[in-house]
């Protein structure tokens, strides 16, 4: 079985973790864990929270890989919720690996790549400029979607829990060019307009996007922050199973509906 440091180094290399150090508030990489330990079982989840820490422990995991971790700019004090989270990890010898923007950005394993797969987009290019990086993708539909068809394709494929996939149908009746930034991506609406997208697919919206999209003549699909960000951790699970076929893995589904 692999050493934790070996897995961490390989994940960091695959995800180009170091390239996002100055772009991301998340402390990507190994957030909690010893320098050396053997890993027999890896759990995967979107969110690093009390529920997934407990469920990973119950499953017998040594390592939990998540998209949203517990360190966003460091800790001023280890009290309250931070103390509770760290206690759960340390008392159960559960290491925590986090990949936020690096996992959004990965061209094959990333969250946007997963949404693009669902929509079968062709001719994909990077989208969602953030400094020198891009955290999304854009591409062309193989056959134009009607706005309702685009929404329904996502409804059928995403783990939305109690949430709905909302459509702001302000674009053309035939959607051919689609831009994607998962999670909270409405800040990239202007870029979507600039590249000629007919629709922007993201997770959650901010209030101004309604009128911004209406005035720009672009449809926006709000498919859920959680739901659009399940793809990356699931892809990492598959990749680790390829790297280490004897490694036990578990995916912890916990949709928020948001």
253: Cα within 13 Å, side-chain hemisphere: 7
Q: Are strands 29-32 and 175-180 parallel, antiparallel or unpaired?
A: unpaired
Is 104 annotated to bind a ligand? Reply is yes
The token duo for 198 is: 């007919």
Is 100 annotated to bind a ligand? Reply is no
Q: Measuring CA to CA, which residue among 222, 148, 155 is closest to residue 186?
A: 222
**Contact criterion met (CB below 8 Å) for 94 and 129:** no
**Through-space distance between the first and last CA atoms of the chain, rounded to whole angstroms:** 37
Is 9 annotated to bind a ligand? Reply is no
Q: At what angle do helices 231-243 and 111-119 cross, to 10 degrees?
A: 100
Which residues define the annotated binding site for a divalent metal cation?
A: 67-68, 104, 225, 229
Which residues define the annotated binding site?
A: 67-68, 104, 225, 229
């Amino acid at each position: 079985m692999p050493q934790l440091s070996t897995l961490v180094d390989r994940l960091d290399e695959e995800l180009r973790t170091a390239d996002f150090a100055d772009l991301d508030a998340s402390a990507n990489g190994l957030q909690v864990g010893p320098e050396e330990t053997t890993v027999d079982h890896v759990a995967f989840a979107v969110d690093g929270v009390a529920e997934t820490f407990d469920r990973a422990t119950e499953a017998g995991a040594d390592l939990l890989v998540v998209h949203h971790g517990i360190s966003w700019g460091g800790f001023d004090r280890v009290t309250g919720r931070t103390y509770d989270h760290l206690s759960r990890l340390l008392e159960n010898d559960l290491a925590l690996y986090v990949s936020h923007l690096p996992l959004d950005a990965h061209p094959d394993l990333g969250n946007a790549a997963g949404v693009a797969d669902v929509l079968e987009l062709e001719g994909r290019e990077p989208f969602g400029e953030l400094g020198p990086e891009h955290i999304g993708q854009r591409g062309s539909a193989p056959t134009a979607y009607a706005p309702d068809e685009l929404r329904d394709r996502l409804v059928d494929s995403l783990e939305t829990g109690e949430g709905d996939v909302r459509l702001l149908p302000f674009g053309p009746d035939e959607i051919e060019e689609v831009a994607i930034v998962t999670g909270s991506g409405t800040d990239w609406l202007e870029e979507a307009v600039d590249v000629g997208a007919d629709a922007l697919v993201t997770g959650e919206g901010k209030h101004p996007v309604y009128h911004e999209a209406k005035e720009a003549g672009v449809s926006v699909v709000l498919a859920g922050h959680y739901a659009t960000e399940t793809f990356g951790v699931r892809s990492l699970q598959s990749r680790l199973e390829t790297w280490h076929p004897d490694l036990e893995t578990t995916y912890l589904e916990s949709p928020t509906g948001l």
